[in-house]
């Protein structure tokens, strides 16, 4: 399995009712440069899953999305080197997430709150905006 792409985690308030393919489209749209190793659909899921992931433990994402699932229990999970927090999260929620164990070890991108206005209800092109913000971090 190729591991040269950059492992990231995405979290936010994901409502798949409007577009069931939204999360998978974001994951695919960030490839091949970025590997979404873990995707949390809520702040609550993030609080439960992130600290253990940063400790190098195998954590099954409640969203069932992320390349670490494909690694199985026999291989160590890839730790994210950056987190993207969706624009639906308020600053206080992001700050609380950053304060979790491991949250200060990696850079964060908090997407703008106007993302729905800019990208429409289907949020077409959001993955490109995410990639641009990640690119600005000069991750390796």
- Strand 108-110 relative to strand 34-40, pairing: unpaired
Q: For every one of its 140 residues, what pLDDT tens digit does the chain have, with 9 covering 90 and above? A: 445 899 999 999 988 766 778 899 999 999 999 999 999 999 999 999 999 999 999 999 999 999 999 887 778 899 999 999 999 999 999 999 999 999 999 999 999 988 777 776 667 788 999 999 999 999 97
Give ∠ CA 93-95-84 in degrees, rounded to 5.
Answer: 80
pLDDT of residue 1: 43
pTM across the whole model? 0.91
pLDDT of residue 122: 66
Q: Which of 140, 85, 81 is nearest to 109 (CA)?
A: 85
pLDDT of residue 94: 98
Domains recognised in the chain with CATH numbers: 6-134 (3.40.50)
């Amino acid at each position: 399995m190729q591991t040269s792409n950059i492992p990231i985690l995405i979290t936010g308030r994901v409502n798949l009712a409007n577009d069931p393919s939204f999360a998978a489209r974001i994951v695919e749209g960030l490839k091949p440069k970025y590997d979404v190793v873990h995707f949390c659909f809520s702040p609550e899921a993030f609080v439960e899953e992130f600290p253990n992931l940063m400790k190098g433990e195998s954590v099954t994402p409640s969203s069932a999305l992320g390349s670490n699932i494909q690694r199985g229990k026999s291989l160590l999970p890839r730790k994210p080197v950056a987190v993207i927090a969706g624009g639906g999260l308020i600053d206080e929620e992001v700050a609380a997430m950053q304060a979790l164990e491991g949250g200060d070890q990696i850079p964060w991108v908090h997407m703008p709150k106007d993302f729905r206005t800019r990208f429409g209800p289907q949020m077409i092109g959001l993955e490109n905006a995410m990639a641009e913000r990640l690119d600005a971090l000069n991750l390796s």
